[in-house]
């Protein structure tokens, strides 16, 4: 009867004193042959289990080591010690699983995040990663809550796709053809994908947007929340080869509606975490403050984690056009002192250093940049009306967040068939293959818009973790696919 146990979170928050309880968990530390700090993952806090002196034989005491799993029967009592209001006075201790203290890699001391990445299969058992992944869970729940409350339909878009038109990034190929050179070939020597599993060349999806648009043309408002894959060979603290993305798509929606929804969404997620994960956030706040202390003064963040989240919640995001952003950069002391590595001119794709300047130095809050040059954005974004020749822009919007850079990328979509076809031609996208997509514009087209929010970047923002590898359970990055 395992389900007779009480989770530690429940015991600490509303356990009734002087009651018999059963707790189970893993030993974090064992002090003075008397005090066990036990954790079951339900909260960052451990419960203290007191072993009455002389009540347990030597052999059993020796097996209470860091990492071992225990079942404890005892009485919940008010604690005399500091740091906890209740503790368990044990009368029966059962070892469920031993953990050799010499070999268990997680010693009760501070380990570096890099080391913990190498033992990612065990890092859930640390305070920091316990906090990060409980928050990740809470945020995922809050995503569904936000859209469900607003009547959006959760649409599962395919993971395997045949379209590579989105151009969001390099793709991973999906095939069952042999790799040893014996794959069937066309006359010109190229591989004959007609013989492949799907009878055509297929890939893992980089975005569910195009399929999402099909859903929005029937349900009005949909969202996707699923894994996406990009074979981008960029080893940054912001990019994964496998990451989770949330993509709402709304009919009867323009760029401004889109921005309003995105801002409300980001704030909802932050607010939910602050309300439901206060303990874990407090722990991460302290962790981050200690990490910041190691940095030189001018590189330190001005606000603590919780202070930053509250600030973002309480303030409007700054909204500027791409053209304004370029002008701000051109006027900036950083530009005049030649501090930027990349050039600044109308038409460039904003580099990370430019985004960081706007967000962290100039506005000091999240910024939504809109109306980017058409040349640097995707084919499906709506052309702005009345542009100067040579300075055509599209109804795009990116949300840039302090410490993270781009967290949301979105746009109003081109709903006019002729314009869209012209753009596809410009980008060299075969119009026949995309006929299913163009049908949305042929039969009852409407103004519509949507965006993609990178879930891990959002988790990074809320937890203050500097490296994206530390906010997904098992990171997939170039040359790394462990566990
Ligand atoms: P970036 O310029 O940072 O590479 P992007 O322009 O390629 O981003 P989009 O194609 O607009 O990004 O994707 C939507 C969102 O998905 C981004 O705003 C970001 O939050 C997230 N994202 C994009 N690429 C990755 C990745 N490789 N790993 C994790 N999140 C990503
Ligand atoms: Mn990218």
- What string of H, E and C letters represents the secondary structure of 397-416? EEEEECCCEEEEEEEEECCC
10 Å CB burial of residue 403 (0-12, 13-18, 19+) is middle
Q: Which atom of ligand 1 is nearest to the CA of 458?
A: 20
Pocket of ligand 1 contains residue 472 by CB under 6 Å: no
User: Which two three-digit tokens encode residue 227?
Assistant: 């894994």
Q: What is the mean pLDDT of residues 133-158?
A: 98
3-class DSSP assignment, residue 142: helix
Q: What angle do helix axes 435-442 and 209-219 make, rounded to 10 degrees?
A: 30
> pTM (2 decimals)?
0.95
pLDDT at 233 over 90: no
Cα atoms found within 13 Å of the Cα of residue 129, Cβ hemisphere only: 25
For ligand 1, pick from 223, 396, 454 the residue to mutate: most ligand atoms within 8 Å of CB.
454
pLDDT at 380 over 80: yes
Q: Which atom of ligand 1 is nearest to the CA of 240?
A: 28
pLDDT at 167 over 80: no
Pocket of ligand 1 contains residue 408 by CB under 6 Å: yes
pLDDT digits (tens, 9 = 90+) for 315-331: 999 999 999 999 999 99
Banded model confidence at residue 35, pLDDT cuts 50, 70, 90: very high
**Percent of the chain at pLDDT exceeding 70:** 98
pLDDT given at position 1: 65
* Residue nearest atom 26 of ligand 1, based on CA coordinates: 239
Q: Which atom of ligand 1 is nearest to the CA of 408?
A: 18
Q: Which-ligand-closest: CA of 228?
A: 1
User: Which two three-digit tokens encode residue 343?
Assistant: 């050039």
Residue 127 near residue 106 (C-beta atoms within 8 A): no
Q: Calculate how far, in angstroms, residue 263's C-alpha sits from the geometric centre of ligand 1.
A: 17
pLDDT digits (tens, 9 = 90+) for 393-416: 999 999 999 988 999 999 999 999
pLDDT at 166 over 80: no
Q: Calculate how far, in angstroms, residue 329's C-alpha sits from the geometric centre of ligand 2.
A: 22
Residues in Cβ contact with 135 at an 8 Å cutoff, skipping those fewer than 6 apart: 273, 277, 280, 281, 284, 459, 462, 463
pLDDT given at position 298: 81
CA distance 315 to 309: 10
Q: Calculate how far, in angstroms, residue 168's C-alpha sits from the geometric centre of ligand 2.
A: 7
Q: Which-ligand-closest: CA of 209?
A: 1
* Residue nearest atom 16 of ligand 1, based on CA coordinates: 454
For the chain, list the domains and their CATH numbers. Answer: 8-106 (2.40.50.140), 127-151+270-470 (3.30.930.10)
Among residues 319, 340, 318, the alpha carbon closest in space to that of 329 is found at 340
Helix (H) or strand (E) holding 217: helix 209-219
For ligand 1, pick from 245, 367, 380, 396 the residue to mutate: most ligand atoms within 8 Å of CB.
245
Banded model confidence at residue 365, pLDDT cuts 50, 70, 90: very high
pLDDT digits (tens, 9 = 90+) for 102-113: 999 998 888 999
pLDDT digits (tens, 9 = 90+) for 299-310: 888 899 999 999
């Amino acid at each position: 009867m395992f389900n007779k146990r009480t989770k530690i979170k429940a015991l600490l928050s509303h356990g009734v004193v002087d009651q018999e309880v059963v707790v189970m968990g893993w030993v974090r530390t064992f002090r003075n042959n008397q005090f066990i700090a036990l954790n079951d993952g339900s909260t960052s806090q451990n419960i203290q289990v007191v072993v009455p002196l002389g009540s347990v034989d030597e052999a059993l005491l020796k097996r209470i080591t860091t990492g071992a799993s225990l079942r404890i029967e005892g009485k919940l009592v008010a604690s005399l010690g500091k740091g906890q209001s209740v503790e368990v006075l044990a009368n029966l201790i059962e070892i469920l699983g031993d953990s050799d203290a010499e070999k268990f890699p997680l010693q009760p001391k501070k380990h570096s995040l890099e080391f913990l990445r190498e033992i990612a299969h065990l890092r859930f058992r640390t305070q920091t990663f316990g906090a990060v992944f409980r928050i990740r869970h809470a945020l995922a729940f809050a995503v569904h809550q936000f859209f469900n409350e607003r009547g959006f339909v959760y649409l599962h878009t395919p993971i395997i796709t045949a379209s590579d038109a989105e151009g969001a990034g390099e793709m991973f190929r999906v095939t069952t053809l042999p790799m040893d050179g014996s794959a069937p070939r066309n006359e010109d020597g190229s591989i004959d994908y007609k013989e492949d599993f799907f009878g055509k060349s297929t890939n893992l999806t980089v975005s569910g947007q195009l399929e999402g648009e099909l859903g929005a043309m029937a349900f009005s408002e949909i969202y996707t929340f699923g894994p996406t894959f990009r074979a981008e060979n960029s080893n940054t603290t912001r990019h994964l080869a496998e990451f989770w993305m949330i993509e709402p798509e709304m009919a009867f929606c323009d760029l401004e509606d889109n921005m309003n929804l995105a801002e409300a969404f980001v704030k909802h997620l932050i607010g939910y975490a602050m309300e439901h994960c206060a303990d874990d956030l407090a722990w991460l706040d302290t962790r981050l403050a200690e990490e910041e202390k190691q940095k030189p003064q001018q590189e330190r963040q001005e606000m603590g984690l919780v202070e930053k989240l509250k600030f973002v919640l309480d303030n409007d995001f700054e909204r500027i056009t791409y053209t304004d952003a370029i002008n701000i950069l051109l006027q900036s002391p950083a530009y005049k002192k030649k501090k930027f590595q990349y050039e600044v001119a109308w038409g460039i794709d904003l580099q990370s250093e430019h985004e960081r300047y706007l967000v962290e130095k100039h506005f000091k809050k999240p910024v939504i940049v809109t109306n980017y040059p058409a040349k640097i954005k995707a084919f499906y974004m709506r052309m702005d009306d009345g542009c100067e020749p040579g300075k055509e822009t599209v109804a795009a919007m990116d949300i840039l967040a302090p410490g993270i850079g781009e967290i949301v990328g979105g746009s109003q979509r081109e709903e006019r068939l002729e314009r869209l076809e012209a753009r596809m031609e410009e980008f060299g996208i075969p119009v026949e293959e995309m006929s299913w997509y163009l049908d949305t514009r042929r039969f009852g087209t409407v103004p519509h818009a949507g965006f993609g929010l990178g879930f891990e970047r959002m988790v990074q923002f809320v937890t203050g973790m500097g490296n994206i590898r530390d906010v997904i359970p098992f990171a997939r990055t170039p040359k790394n696919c462990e566990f």
